[in-house]
Structure 1
Amino acid sequence: MQLIARSIALAYNNLPRPHRVMLGSLTIITLAIAVWRPVAHHDSEDDYPEKSIVKKIQLDSQQASSSLPEQANSLLPEASEPLDQPPPAADIPQDELDDKTENEQGIHEYVVSTGDTLSSILNQFGIDMADISTLAAQNSELRSLKVGQQLSWTVNDEGELQRLTWEKSRRETATYDRTDQGFKASMQTMAGEWQDQVLKGTLDGSFVSSAKAAGLTNAEIGAVVKALQWQLDFKKLRKGDQFSVLMSREVLNGKNEQSQLAGVRLRSGGRDYYAIRAEDGKFYDRAGSGLARGFLRFPTLRQYRVSSNFNPRRLNPVSGRIAPHRGVDFAVPMRTPVLAVGDGEVVVVNNGGNAGTYVALRHGRQYTTRYMHLSKALVKTGQKVKRGERIALSGNSGRSTGPHLHYEIWINNVAVNPLTAKMPRSEGLNGSDLKQYLATVRQIMPQLTL
């Protein structure tokens, strides 16, 4: 070894002075790199089109564990969702109309539309495919859903399906309850008499109090609000505004058992607003045009790669506990324009916390969208926005380890999968459906006098 060292030293001393200086410098640089090695973030070049930004996230005392390896403190993009972010009801201002538009606690509702199947309906709300398959296999009649029928269901705290109710007609309802062997079906048939009733009123105070004074129940008030939600802001109605509501009610032994909104007319500021129910269970104007405002599928100008999917039963890889991922993460570059997916009102602009800078929009009375980990909000609370309008720039704020956009959609305060959710569409009726609807309009219109 000593002989080798003397040979290297002799060869080094025989080199010209410039060469010795260069070789010595390279040796020092090499030793410095060996001692100080920066932490590398192993993302592919496709993950983030612009330069990646890596952040260290300090876990709280409940999440940190001595059994976790040290590198767990540096979260991966797949673990960067706003853990335990509360539902919209916790941070979005509520009013008395919300009490009338939300479903009964824990019950989710859906009206069957064209192209729907049991699987496509339940899966967008995060129901496990294994439960859906078991339910359909044991009850084959559920494969014959019809447009306009209503489904409602309940889940437990783990998001597992517990009961499904299928209103096959106004008289016949099927219920499927979870058992150890799967789902047990039962049938209920109502024997009451359906009667049409017109309820009229004039605003003196809020719409809710005025509607109650006219004889509408809470559920019926909620139905009216949902039917007209895209046309007007109920909070801006004025004293003296008038309304006329046609309800179809089932009367059994002198009591109203259930009801269905057939049509409504509301006059505000000298203008009339109408919503009339069609056979598909949706509401249209007098000409058969859709009332809902269409939504964009994605909150960006183009579709980006999904880095983390919607998963309401997700097991967080860092904390080891259930932390629902109630939206999708898009791997977008820093400061990518974020768009409002539909017409609505800005109800939250927040900075700080796990979600970082985030914006929440309310669309009508049923739909809420949230956009998180932003670098900058471009809107203010209370501002009205249009579909496609820029509301923010994407970023890496809050609990995040790389630039991305976390995007959520909530329907009736229930998170749905933004990639598969059936969003409102502004399309109207046509063909035989329009002809049938216009015949219904001619029957209902004379009853909605003020």
Structure 2
Amino acid sequence: MQQIARSVALAFNNLPRPHRVMLGSLTVLTLAVAVWRPYVYHPTSSPIVRTIELEQKEIRSLLPEASEPIDQAAQEDEAIPQDELDEKTDNQHEYVVSTGDTLSSILNQYGIDMGDISRLAAADKDLRNMKIGQQLSWTLTADGDLQQLTWEMSRRETRTYDRVANGFKMSAETQQGEWVNSLLKGTVGGSFVTSARNAGLTSTEVSAVIKAMQWQMDFRKLKKDDEFAVLMSREMLDGKREQSQLVGVRIRSEGKDYYAIRSEDGKYYDRNGTGLAKGFLRFPTARQFRVSSNFNPRRLNPVTGRVAPHRGVDFAMPQGTPVLAVGDGEVVMAKRSGAAGYYVAIRHGRTYTTRYMHLRKILVKPGQKIKRGDRIALSGNTGRSTGPHLHYEVWINQQAVNPLTAKLPRTEGLTGSDRTDYLAQVKLVLPQLRFD
């Protein structure tokens, strides 16, 4: 160690004087910084503490979620354009039971309270054993609560569940009428809806035809003298029509025939048993992003304490992320609008609509036809938004559903014995769908 010290001292002394001065100064400064400690003040008396009373509404404003954008009901310029082909729901919805469905999975995707679902199941245990092809319909209160549910178990038996003070009360009705097939046919004049009504179809039956054929054609673009033939099964009781069910439909447009025939599962297929629905993507982006705010039709505004429905899901993502169309359809809205910022709305057939909000850039135009997976926009942070995210909504029959759990269309077809039974049904129905 002494040898090292002597060597360092010798080297230092051999340096020119300016260099020795500089090196010495740096050494002193380094030592000063190493031993320095800031002076800390220690008060001799206790600090002054003040208690501030806050009102409940002021406490809410301090919660983390108070900084989230609270979506309001769609403003007039954000609403999806409607036309005569749209069925007016009045808070009513219909659903055909399909594979894997349960009472809970069906109703929960529409935001119906789990407590109401449990009370329904308690009113009738048979609701736990619904079968494919059966139909549910329900109405909601102005606040979005379940008011009444109807279960069509078969053509003969229908059960209705009405809200009462402590749950739901069930009533059953058995139909005694005779079911007969009726062929209604005509040609398109001014519009399909008017022409179909002139041919004898009710408004409900017209809506059934439009839903069955929605993936094959745009009814607004049918031309004069296009032909249609509709086979309805109608229940007649004491000479009056009680209810009806669409069996099959054939439309000839510009010389080409389109068909939709009902299967036992309640869905409609073409003449070969191939499904008519176009499959959807579950997410509107190439990869999944974190959900920053869930679907909640009863979400409380943390500041006001009032219900402010969140009719979609928010995905937190970097600005500029490509946003994809989840299914084939037509762009009905592509514009900048108030709280939604830049947003796009796409109509898929006549039943489904999707909306994409707070975008940075729109890549499509109203009226444009798009395919599943097409880029329609880049995500952003426009409108009433506190951070980069995509607000995504799915609507079924003009009612918002949970995009993460909704039963979305998928491309499918019948196989095995189901297809064999269906093709046998087709042989009976096709000869009846005639124009002459």
| Structure 1 match to 2:215 | 230
| Structure 2 match to 1:96 | 84
| Structure 2 match to 1:412 | 397
Matched residues in 2 for 1:86 and 1:141: separation?
42
Matched residues in 1 for 2:371 and 2:321: separation?
18
Write the letter of the residue equivalent to 1:267.
Answer: R
Give the 3-state SS of the residue equivalent to 1:345 in structure 2.
strand
Q: CA 1:75 to 1:292, structure 2 compared with 1: closer, same or farther past 3 Å? A: same
Q: CA 1:138 to 1:91, structure 2 compared with 1: closer, same or farther past 3 Å? A: closer
Query: Deviation at 1:420?
Result: 0.4
Structure 1 residue corresponding to 2:74, chosen from 79, 85, 90: 85
- How much identity, in percent, do the aligned residues show? 65
Give the 3-state SS of the residue equivalent to 1:442 in structure 2.
helix
Matched residues in 2 for 1:218 and 1:282: separation?
20
Write the letter of the residue equivalent to 1:411.
Answer: I
Matched residues in 2 for 1:442 and 1:144: separation?
32
Matched residues in 1 for 2:93 and 2:29: separation?
78
Structure 1 residue corresponding to 2:113, chosen from 112, 123, 128: 128
Query: Deviation at 1:176?
Result: 0.8
Query: Deviation at 1:83?
Result: 2.4
Query: Deviation at 1:84?
Result: 2.7
Q: CA 1:356 to 1:120, structure 2 compared with 1: closer, same or farther past 3 Å? A: same
Query: Deviation at 1:19?
Result: 6.0
Give the 3-state SS of the residue equivalent to 2:338 in structure 1.
coil
Is the CA contact 2:60–2:66 (under 8 Å) kept in the aligned structure 1? Answer: no
Give the 3-state SS of the residue equivalent to 1:351 in structure 2.
strand
Is the CA contact 2:325–2:373 (under 8 Å) kept in the aligned structure 1? Answer: yes
| Structure 1 match to 2:21 | none
Is the CA contact 1:243–1:264 (under 8 Å) kept in the aligned structure 2? Answer: yes
Q: How does 1:65-76 map to 2 (within 5 A)?
A: 69=58, 72=61
Q: Which stretch of structure 1 is more off in the superposition, 66-75 or 369-378? A: 66-75
Structure 2 residue corresponding to 1:330, chosen from 297, 315, 333: 315
TM-score with structure 1 length normalisation?
A: 0.82
Is the CA contact 1:125–1:417 (under 8 Å) kept in the aligned structure 2? Answer: yes
Query: Deviation at 1:161?
Result: 1.3
Structure 1 residue corresponding to 2:97, chosen from 101, 104, 112: 112
Matched residues in 1 for 2:112 and 2:68: separation?
22
Write the letter of the residue equivalent to 1:269.
Answer: E
| Structure 1 match to 2:41 | none
| Structure 2 match to 1:148 | 133
| Structure 2 match to 1:161 | 146
| Structure 1 match to 2:411 | 426
| Structure 2 match to 1:358 | 343
| Structure 2 match to 1:194 | 179
Structure 2 segments unaligned to the other structure (5+ residues): 1-24, 34-53
Give the 3-state SS of the residue equivalent to 2:354 in structure 1.
strand
| Structure 2 match to 1:4 | none
Query: Deviation at 1:108?
Result: 1.1
Structure 1 residue corresponding to 2:236, chosen from 229, 251, 272: 251
Q: Which runs of 4+ in 1 moved over 6 A?
A: none
Q: CA 1:366 to 1:116, structure 2 compared with 1: closer, same or farther past 3 Å? A: same
| Structure 2 match to 1:384 | 369
Matched residues in 2 for 1:225 and 1:413: separation?
15
Matched residues in 2 for 1:246 and 1:424: separation?
25
What is the CA deviation profile of residues 51-106 of structure 1, one whole-angstrom value per residue up to 9, with x for unaligned ones?
xxxxxxxxxxxxxx997559949985872243233499x622221111xx343x12
Is the CA contact 1:79–1:318 (under 8 Å) kept in the aligned structure 2? Answer: no
Higher Rg: 2
What is the CA deviation profile of residues 166-200 of structure 1, one whole-angstrom value per residue up to 9, with x for unaligned ones?
00011210001111121111001111111101111
Cα RMSD (Å): 2.5
What is the CA deviation profile of residues 267-324 of structure 1, one whole-angstrom value per residue up to 9, with x for unaligned ones?
0011100000000100000000000010000000011111111100000112321000
Task: Work out which structure has the larger RCO, using CA pairs closer than 8 Å and 6 or more positions apart in sequence.
Answer: 1
Matched residues in 2 for 1:86 and 1:428: separation?
40
Q: CA 1:74 to 1:188, structure 2 compared with 1: closer, same or farther past 3 Å? A: closer
Give the 3-state SS of the residue equivalent to 1:110 in structure 2.
strand
| Structure 2 match to 1:375 | 360
Matched residues in 1 for 2:353 and 2:76: separation?
10
Is the CA contact 1:305–1:330 (under 8 Å) kept in the aligned structure 2? Answer: yes
Q: CA 1:74 to 1:334, structure 2 compared with 1: closer, same or farther past 3 Å? A: farther
Is the CA contact 1:343–1:386 (under 8 Å) kept in the aligned structure 2? Answer: yes
Matched residues in 2 for 1:117 and 1:76: separation?
33
Q: CA 1:119 to 1:431, structure 2 compared with 1: closer, same or farther past 3 Å? A: same
Q: CA 1:420 to 1:124, structure 2 compared with 1: closer, same or farther past 3 Å? A: same
Query: Deviation at 1:163?
Result: 1.0
Structure 1 residue corresponding to 2:329, chosen from 306, 327, 344: 344
